[in-house]
Structure 1
Amino acid sequence: MDQSFPAPSPPDPRAEEREPDGAVSAARASSTAGWLGALARTARIDAHPQRIFPLVLDTVAAEHPGAPALIGGDETLSHSALAARRNRYARWALARGLAKGETVALLMRNCPDYLAVWLGLTRVGVCVALLNTNLRGSGLAHCLAVAAPRLIIAAADLAEVLASALPHLAEQPEIVWQDPAAQASLAAASADFGEDPLGPDEAPSVTLRDPALLIYTSGTTGLPKAARVSHHRVMMWTHWFAGLIDPTPDDRMYDCLPLYHSVGGVVAPGSVLLGGGSVVIREKFSASRFWADVGESGATLFQYIGELCRYLTLAAPDPAEARHRLRLCTGNGMRPEVWEAFQARFAIPRILEFYAATEGTLSLYNVEGKVGAVGRVPPFMARRSPALIVRHDAATGLPARDARGRCIPTEFGEAGELLGRLSDRAEYTFEGYTSAAESARKVLRDVIEPGDAWMRTGDLMRRDAQGFFTFVDRIGDTFRWKGENVATTEVAEALHRVAGVREANVYGVAVPGTEGRAGMAALSVEPGFDLAHLHAAMTTRLPAYARPLFLRLCAELGHTETFKQKKGALAEEGFDPERTDDPLYIDRDGAYRRIDAALYGQIAGGRLRL
């Protein structure tokens, strides 16, 4: 799941909202306050179409000038210093002749200056494409080509990375290097420009509907797509989250996620800056240093990806883990078994899980803190409904249609694809990608009535009678075996509960002579891991069709820079012992048996009954 945050997503418009009970009702008062805070902060955004996020931060800087805003490893900027720097960058852009609507690409590692650059440039109407620093060669060149930037601002320490992409580009864009110590850098070129807020006649008029950023999807397969992010979306993301987490000048957000993505680079820092608080920016996550750094930095908030929390729960005890000041951890992708272990072991007062996508028109928030759910919409917000779950046809990969050609809404507890209704309202407008063809593929029409339009999320969800949404799987990750649909996330959750399994990556593989795809799991395991125990656990916990038929034991499992599992290469290599040195197994005769060349030949030749 990639991340984004427009207005909240209420439940299926056909269904009645029901009040929660049990433990959930105990959190009703505080959760209601969170919803009301979010609504209050976003209510008047549309009333001021020229009030963009950098202008809001000018007001914050005037109210909290000397307070820290961005705390990096090598540099700390106060709110006034951040304002001064972004204003210098804005004036530099105007002096360079950068026009409203033109694009500048940004290639820098996590640091306070990163935010100052894009805030300054977007202030004067420039759209900034946030490049993934992990890409190289043709992959990075693709991201540059689809953005078509007027120039590239690149950190000097990423010169080799950028050089690897340039031979793959038809046209060579101008490069502006950023190195505070260099004479010809952006820092030096902007040093003599004014630091005070820009006057109304100094910059072009920039509105909420104008483009602010290009943020790239970070899928596990295929080339990244550049999602358009308007100033309105930046305002909604930051203000909505500020309402939910209620930041104060005393709050510090620990942010070790990539600044080139929507959560790490916009939501996490932006929501806290609005409250006059500060952001502790780290270049990357370190499990061994995490608790010491959180404690020493005085962090009160932590923006997570679920995998980070899993790493921490698997780590050896750390004396520093009991000395933190965290009052809230917020993020997405927290598995239920990790959630409970993480919150109990580290005494986390509150976890705020959410679901969203950078290009999405809906988002879900688990304000009540129900373990395993990605969100719920309270009854008083049910009329603001842009969300619908419809039945999914695994054979076509599309939503199922009835005899009239309309999509079929699911019942409570039934898995289906989550859709987001589109309209002319800014928060429900699909801003799309730089590619018109990719944008068109995300829109579904004639869903409930003729002429309506909905955005496909590509995610399967369930909704219970209390209105809580639970993530099931990504479409494409779910596969069909023995006539049944298998959700890889549900199989992975069962595997993660087995002693000795550190991480599980579940996917489907084609088997000659059979229909559908058989389940396969790549596992990272601890010393002493017992295959027989795993087999017994799978027999107990999963139906026969969902149990992994094949296993692969790996020293490490591959991840994207946002800690998503990479499945494409694993699925392609399958269970062929010639394609990997990792041990491979098949569930055969009541146990997992090692696959050698002879056994593989029987399977591949269709001579082994499965």
Structure 2
Amino acid sequence: MRFQARLKRDWRFWKGLSRTLKRVKTITRESDNLICDDIQAALELYRNRPAMTFEGRTVTYGELDGIANRYAHWAKSQNLRRGQVVALFMPNRLEYFAIWYGLSKVGVVTALINNQLVGAPLAHCLNISGANHVLVDGDTSPAFGAALGQLDRPMQQWILGPAHGGQRDLIQALKSCSQLPPDRSVRDGMTANDTALLIYTSGTTGLPKAARITHMRAQLYMRGFAGSTGALKTDRIYVCLPLYHATGGLCALGAALLNGGSVVLKRKFSASQFWPDIIAENCTMFVYIGELCRYLVNYPEVLEETRHKLRLAFGNGLRPDVWPTLKRRFRIPDILEFYGSTEGNVSLFNWDGREGAIGRVPKWLKARFSIRLVQYDQEAGIVERAANGLCIECGAGQVGQCIGKIGSDVRTDFSGYLDKAASESKILQNVFERGDAWFATGDLMKSDADGYFYFVDRIGETFRWKGENVSTSEVAEQLLVFPGVDEATVYGVQVEGADGRAGMAALVMNGPFDVKAFGEHVAREMPPYAQPLFIRLLPALDTTGTFKIRKVDLVSDGYDPNRIKGVMYFKDPKRGYVKLTKSVFERLQAGAFRI
């Protein structure tokens, strides 16, 4: 029986791997077939089928292509040349995918800006993009206007909606643009190694970095998930994740649109609307991040949650304790958990559904996969090396940093960031032999004897909260701007029942702490996911001999007022920052707050 179970497991893995490799095997960096050519081929094949539904409006593949073509011709009318950048700063909407797809038809790069950003982080992302044009809508225009004074060059603002001030009316401009595809000759000389998109990632330190997404990498995402999910043209995929992230914007859209299926796009996730939407739109799949699944299982039971036609949920970050509840309570036949990063070259898939695992590399295929775990000294913050100077591979059950060998083929390519120094900081040299180079994911994992990989934690100055990577140094910089803050350090703490780590800030004040004004400052300067959930006031911060703040002790302390002396605050979802008393702590531990 044990042999039969192993055989079934390996067969499911092999089927998933084969489907995926079949779709990506022809991708090469030298090819003149770009991501827009992949999408165009699908659009021609499925022209009259429904492609995307958003807020009651459905467009066919042909109509979606027509929208994209207008943006391509708009770019030409603005004398935008291939390689130049346009910043896209909008929430999810019907036009979002069509915009970057259309711009790619004329070789223009689209910088996908997180629509939750405000202030200095927003200005930073716009500045490093190199864009001279930014596309906004009514939701994001105010944030762009507020950041104008921090831009290092003039940017022309185009708005999908009524224009005022220094804005230009994008809707009016598009009316004179053709719906026919631009001549393919405009892309002559381009290869799949050219840049298609800029997608931002927090990285491990500092402000967001712009990852260079080549046409080849975009193809890998979109084609890869068209294969790995086994999606069909009859599938309708529910997407409520932001399209500025690769998971929602490339992986999920690729699974649907390269197979003739439909995307049911939502502006944002809503636990109360999730199941009614799934049923009303006859969805057969949905894409997730772990936080989304936690919200679903914590939401009160509703009749609709088992009356759906779902056959697969796919995504990343699903917590081991949430996994069985999600699958059984909602009667979801299959869950496909995967692991990957926007800029990295490490991809893992859990095709056979082992609960808690982020992917698998069977022993009989290990030599073909350039993924390894190496021993890592968390105190020193470096990989451990043997006497010969080379890294030490982890054994089964050992926790280590996940790394991926850098090569020339599509699956091992590392395109890096616009910032060359940031790219080089992610590369490990002389790992298993002299002269080799490996991408350091910044993630700690462990594997078992069957080849399953399990996520353990993030390394360094970043923690994950509400599906986003939060840079501790970036948040601390914003807190130091608040009057009266002498010192600030930010770290992640685990909260009972929550995915990832919640932000906690330790502050040293030089006067009274105005908690109301502080809350207003945080709300104004930071996106919701980056706002600290806990505040701790201290007379001083302990430092090391090299003047680095000792966060390890702060993290260990946590936020339990029964153990910690001094004043702490908790960000109540309804009332803002309140004193973290023992009664508030007990309610928090009991799950009384929807954080």
| Cα distance change on mapping 1:206 and 1:77 into 2, 3 Å | farther
Q: Distance in 2 between matches of 1:201 and 1:478?
A: 44
Structure 1 residue 317 displacement after superposition: 0.9
Which residue is 2:537 aligned to?
Answer: none
Q: CA deviation at 1:55?
A: 1.4
Task: Give unmatched runs, 5+ long, in structure 1.
Answer: 1-18, 480-487, 524-530, 536-547, 559-578, 593-610
Change (3 A) 1:272 1:235: same
> 1:331-355: CA deviations, max 9, x gaps?
1111111001111100010000011
**2:16 alignment partner AA:** G
| 1:368-391: CA deviation from partner (whole Å, max 9, x where unpaired) | 110010000245643332211111
After superposition, the C-alpha distances for 1:151-210 in whole angstroms (9 at most, x for unaligned) are: 111113322111011111121112222238999533332333332333333444432100
Q: How does 1:125-524 map to 2 (within 5 A)?
A: 125-179=107-161, 185-218=169-202, 222-379=206-363, 381-476=365-460, 492=494, 495-496=496-497, 505=502, 516-517=552-553, 519-521=556-558
What is the TM-score with the length of structure 1 in the denominator? 0.77
Is the 1:520–1:551 contact (alpha carbons within 8 Å) kept by the matching residues of 2? no
Q: CA deviation at 1:512?
A: 5.9
Cα drift, residue 26 of structure 1: 3.4
Q: Does structure 1 residue 100 correspond to structure 2 residue 98? A: no
Q: Give the structure 2 partner of residue 583 of structure 1.
A: 581
**In 2: Cα distance, 1:311 partner to 1:396 partner:** 36
- State how far apart, in whole Å, the 2-side matches of 1:115 and 1:508 are: 37
2:25 aligned residue: 43
Aligned position for 2:37: 55
Match among 54, 57, 60 for residue 72 of structure 1 = 54
Partner amino acid, structure 2, of 1:519:
S
Structure 1 position 113 matched with structure 2 position 95: yes
**DSSP 3-state at the match of 1:110:** coil
Q: Aligned letter for 2:386?
A: D
> 2:486 maps to which residue?
none
* 2:13 alignment partner, SS class: helix
Q: Is the 8 A contact 2:106 2:182 kept in 1?
A: no
- Where structure 2 has 5 or more consecutive residues not aligned to the other structure, the ranges are 464-490, 507-539, 545-549, 590-595
Equivalent AA in structure 2 for residue 372 of structure 1: G
CA distance in 1, matches of 2:27, 2:542: 57
Question: Which whole-Å deviations, capped at 9, do the CAs of 1:470-494 have from their partners, x for residues lacking one?
Answer: 0011113799xxxxxxxx99x959x
Matched-pair contact (CA < 8 Å) for 2:291–2:499: no
Task: Tell me the SS of whatever aligns to 1:331.
Answer: strand
- Contact 1:100/1:204, CA 8 A, preserved across alignment: no
Match of 1:574 in 2: none
Provide closer, same or farther for how the CA distance between residues 492 and 184 of structure 1 changes in structure 2, counting only shifts above 3 A: closer
Tell whether the 8 Å contact from 1:551 to 1:584 is kept in structure 2 after alignment: no
How far did 1:508 drift? 11
Give the secondary structure class of the aligned counterpart of 1:447.
coil
Contact 1:89 1:190 in 2 (8 A): yes
Letter in 2 for 1:94: K
How big is the shift at 1:140? 0.5
Change (3 A) 1:56 1:554: same
Equivalent-residue separation in structure 2 for 1:502 and 1:465 (angstroms): 26
SS at match of 1:253: strand
Q: Which amino acid is 1:272 matched to?
A: A
Distance change (3 Å), C-alpha of 1:351 and 1:156: same
One-letter code of the match for 1:156?
G
CA contact (8 A) 1:38 1:244 kept: yes
CA distance in 2, matches of 1:280, 1:551: 47
C-alpha distance in structure 1 between counterparts of 2:181 and 2:57, whole Å: 22
| Distance (Å, rounded) in 1 between the aligned partners of 2:202 and 2:241 | 13
Displacement of 1:415 in angstroms is 0.2
**Kept in 1: contact 2:319–2:499 (CA 8 A):** no
* 1:403 CA drift (Å): 1.4
Task: Provide the rounded CA distance (Å) in 2 between the counterparts of 1:319 and 1:235.
Answer: 39
Distance in 2 of aligned mates of 1:150 and 1:74: 33
Q: Does the CA-based 8 Å contact 2:203-2:462 persist in structure 1?
A: no
> Which shifted more, 181-190 or 288-297?
181-190
Matched residues, number: 514
Contact 1:390-1:418 within 8 A present in 2 as well:
yes
Q: Residue 438 of structure 2: SS of its match in structure 1?
A: strand
1:270 CA drift (Å): 1.8
**Shift of residue 22, structure 1, vs aligned partner:** 7.4
**Relative to 1, partners in 2 of residues 1:179 and 1:507: Cα closer, same or farther, differing over 3 Å?**
closer
In the TM superposition, residue 295 of structure 1 has moved relative to its aligned partner by 0.8
| Equivalent residues of 1:227, 1:358 under 8 A apart | yes
**Relative to 1, partners in 2 of residues 1:513 and 1:57: Cα closer, same or farther, differing over 3 Å?**
closer
Cα pair distance change 1:502/1:454, threshold 3 Å = closer
Cα deviation, residue 503, structure 1:
9.3
Q: Which amino acid in the other structure matches residue 581 of structure 1?
A: K
- Deviation string for 1:224-258 (max 9, x for gaps)? 11111000000011111111112112111111111
Cα distance in 2 for residues equivalent to 1:472 and 1:143: 30
- The one of 72, 83, 87 aligned to 2:69: 87
Which letter does structure 1 place at the counterpart of 2:581? P
SS of 1:382 mapped into structure 2: helix
| One-letter code aligned to 1:583 | T
Return the alpha-carbon distance in structure 2 between the equivalents of residues 194 and 359 of structure 1.
34
